Amino acid sequence: MQPIKVGQAADSRLRFVFSDRVVSLSLAADATFEDIARALGEFSNPEYRNPVSIDVTLSPASRAALLH
């Protein structure tokens, strides 16, 4: 399994953590849960199986927009 790095992200990221790999994608500032579900659907094949976790990291600008 690949190590997951924790730190300050410059952009918003979506990470699907599987038992043997991590898939990381850019996340649009206006992304919805539907967008996340659609992205997960792209990995719904026997090669990837079910994710162990789903991690969303927001950019500082996106976090600030949520607080206002």
Where do the H-state alpha helices sit in 1-68? 33-42, 60-67
Residue range 3-15, pLDDT digits in tens: 555 555 468 899 9
pLDDT attached to residue 15: 92
Which domain, by its residues, includes 46?
13-67
Q: Is residue 5 part of a domain?
A: no
Q: Is residue 7 part of a domain?
A: no
pLDDT attached to residue 1: 57
pLDDT at 53 over 70: yes
Residue range 25-34, pLDDT digits in tens: 998 888 888 9
Please give the tally of structural domains in the chain: 1
Mean per-residue pLDDT, 39-60? 81
Q: How many C-beta atoms surround the C-beta of residue 6 within 10 A?
A: 8
- Alpha-carbon distance of 13 to 15, in angstroms, equals 6
pTM of structure: 0.66
